[in-house]
């Protein structure tokens, strides 16, 4: 049975967790610049008696907050970064930016970090009451959206003493996130040429933009000769300033993604070669800056099963007519077809959900081992150094996409609050289970050792000295 103490604690302290998550929602900050958001959670944990270390892993907004002593050491992962161009007014079912072009919480990280902090505080209460023994550590992880925070926190050795890690992500389903995600590298290629008058002296110029274009052509030909699950995308961040000047500098920013880290390493190596080729073709030089990279995600069935059991035992939140009304309005803005498709997808993935449902109120069956989703997350790096599990809970209506203004509204509403508290309860009860049952920890670790045998974790940023604090 889930430990009732921690379930009740999260419910009792609902106003505190609403205040913390609202403060983060109201003050959205981009990755590595989450000065206020990071402080909201670090201050709250410190006030509750946690030992807080700020500015860890070369990042001013990264921190850890630890309570308790001895084994096991359980990590709870929290995020708090926002997304660009998603500024949005609260409580309205229409796109209404508060600050033109400003950031917003389209991924619900205002709830993500707060729920993990709430879970940590709930576990502290159980430790204080002598119901469980061990150490709980909240990880204040910045810059998830740019896949930076946890990769550097792992590199800094912050997970070296951790036995298991738990986390969650806001969504429109109540389910254990058993699927994997794409491993990735993010790199900027800057080419250097010689500027000259594009009409009067083109022979004197060497175009850095030509090199960018030829690199892109080369990579587009590469697409035919990589596994079909590979994803490569780029944007030209500098293409010169005027057509009458041969650009002496140009830059292209690439993401290379694949289901396994080793494939990213291999394909990225070929992209590096193409960049060299583009230099030779254009008589230019270049430099490459790897901003970050991450692993795919390794699920842990032992931990996932326990989270599922706790999700089921606690029971999914129910929503009021008022919340359903807001959800219906948000769904109307994405269209009926999108809603029908999303429901079909959920049914395929183990959720019993009736047509026309606005907000899912049950717990989906276990699904997704061996499946790979479309995105990437730096939870992947933690999952390859420590047995890790994560759940999704309902913080938004079915079919409103992540990274959308509709999502900003949902995660800023009471719908988001309910999903946040549920996630906190699931993480806290699972953490307490691990503290009460050493065999559960051993089983999770045995599964982890078997899954990672023969392929030790190699940091994607092993050659990168510091996180990209300035872009
Ligand atoms: Zn997210």
DSSP string, 38-65: HHHHHHHHHHTT-EEEES-TT-TT-EEE
Which positions ≥6 away from 220 have C-beta within 8 Å? none
The rounded distance, in Å, linking the Cα atoms of 116 and 109 is 11
Give the start-end residues of each E strand in 310-456: 388-394
Do the domains 4-180+296-452 and 183-294 sit in the same CATH topology, yes or no? no
Distance 379 CA to ligand 1 centre (A): 10
Please state whether beta strands 388-394 and 231-238 pair in parallel, antiparallel, or not at all (unpaired). unpaired
Extract the tokens encoding 7.
């379930």
The rounded distance, in Å, linking the Cα atoms of 67 and 363 is 31
87 within 8 A of 95, measured Cβ to Cβ: no
Residue 94, CA distances (Å) to 51, 90, 107, 300, 409 in order? 42, 10, 18, 40, 9
Nearest residue to 66 (alpha-carbon basis) of 41, 43, 49, 47: 49
Distance 396 CA to ligand 1 centre (A): 13
CATH for the stretch 4-180+296-452: 3.40.630.10
Q: Where are the domains of the chain?
A: 4-180+296-452, 183-294
pLDDT at 451: 97
Q: What is the DSSP letter of 316?
A: P
Query: Mean pLDDT, the chain, as a whole number?
Result: 96
CATH for the stretch 183-294: 3.30.70.360
Distance 156 CA to ligand 1 centre (A): 22
pTM: 0.95
Q: What is the pLDDT of residues 104-159, one digit of tens each?
A: 999 999 999 999 999 999 999 999 999 999 999 999 999 999 999 999 999 999 99
The rounded distance, in Å, linking the Cα atoms of 122 and 155 is 29
Q: What is the pLDDT of residues 233-246, one digit of tens each?
A: 999 999 999 999 99
Distance 141 CA to ligand 1 centre (A): 12
- pLDDT class of 367 with cuts at 50, 70, 90: confident
Residue 61, CA distances (Å) to 52, 66, 113 in order? 12, 16, 13
pLDDT at 374: 82
Distance 137 CA to ligand 1 centre (A): 21
pLDDT at 290: 96
Distance 171 CA to ligand 1 centre (A): 9
Distance 126 CA to ligand 1 centre (A): 29
């Amino acid at each position: 049975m889930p430990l009732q103490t921690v379930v009740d604690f999260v419910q009792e302290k609902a106003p505190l967790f609403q205040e913390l998550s609202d403060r983060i929602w109201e003050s959205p900050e981009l990755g590595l610049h989450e000065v206020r958001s990071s402080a909201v959670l670090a201050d709250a944990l410190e006030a509750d008696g946690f030992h807080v270390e700020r500015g860890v892993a070369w990042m001013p907004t990264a921190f850890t907050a630890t309570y308790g002593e001895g084994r096991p050491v359980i990590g709870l992962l929290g995020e708090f970064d926002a997304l660009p161009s998603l500024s949005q007014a609260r409580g309205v079912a229409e796109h209404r930016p508060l600050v033109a072009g400003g950031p917003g919480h389209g991924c619900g990280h205002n709830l993500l970090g707060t729920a993990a902090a709430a879970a940590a505080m709930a576990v502290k209460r159980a430790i204080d009451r002598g119901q469980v023994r061990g150490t709980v550590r909240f990880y204040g992880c910045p810059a998830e959206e740019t896949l930076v925070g946890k990769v550097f926190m792992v590199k800094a050795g912050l997970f070296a003493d951790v036995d298991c890690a738990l986390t969650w992500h806001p969504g429109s389903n109540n389910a254990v996130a058993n699927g994997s995600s794409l491993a990735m590298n993010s790199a900027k290629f800057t080419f250097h040429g010689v500027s000259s008058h594009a009409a009067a002296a083109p022979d004197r110029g060497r175009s850095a933009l030509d090199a960018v274009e030829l690199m892109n052509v080369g990579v587009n030909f590469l697409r035919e000769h990589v596994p079909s699950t590979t994803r490569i995308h780029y944007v030209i961040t500098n293409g010169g300033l005027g057509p009458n000047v041969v650009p002496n500098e140009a830059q292209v920013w690439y993401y290379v993604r694949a289901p396994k880290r080793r494939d990213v390493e291999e394909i990225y190596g070929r992209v590096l070669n193409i960049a060299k080729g583009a230099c030779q073709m254009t008589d230019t030089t270049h430099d490459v800056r790897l901003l970050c990279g991450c692993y795919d995600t390794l699920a842990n069935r032992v931990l996932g099963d326990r989270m599922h059991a706790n999700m089921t035992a606690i029971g999914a939140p129910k929503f009021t007519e008022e919340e359903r009304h807001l959800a219906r309005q948000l769904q109307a803005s994405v269209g009926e077809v999108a809603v029908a498709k999303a429901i079909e997808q959920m049914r395929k993935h183990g959720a019993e959900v009736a047509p026309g449902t606005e907000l899912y109120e049950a717990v989906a069956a276990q699904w997704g081992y061996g499946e790979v989703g479309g995105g990437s997350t730096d939870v992947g790096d933690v999952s390859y150094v420590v047995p890790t599990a994560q759940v999704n809970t309902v913080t938004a209506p079915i079919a409103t996409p992540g990274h959308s203004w509709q999502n900003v509204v949902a995660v800023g509403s009471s719908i988001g609050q309910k999903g946040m508290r549920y996630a906190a309860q699931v993480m806290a009860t699972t953490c307490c289970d691990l503290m009460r049952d050493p065999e559960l920890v051993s089983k999770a670790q045995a599964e982890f050792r078997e899954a990672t045998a023969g392929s030790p974790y190699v940091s994607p940023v092993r050659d990168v000295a510091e996180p990209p604090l300035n872009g």
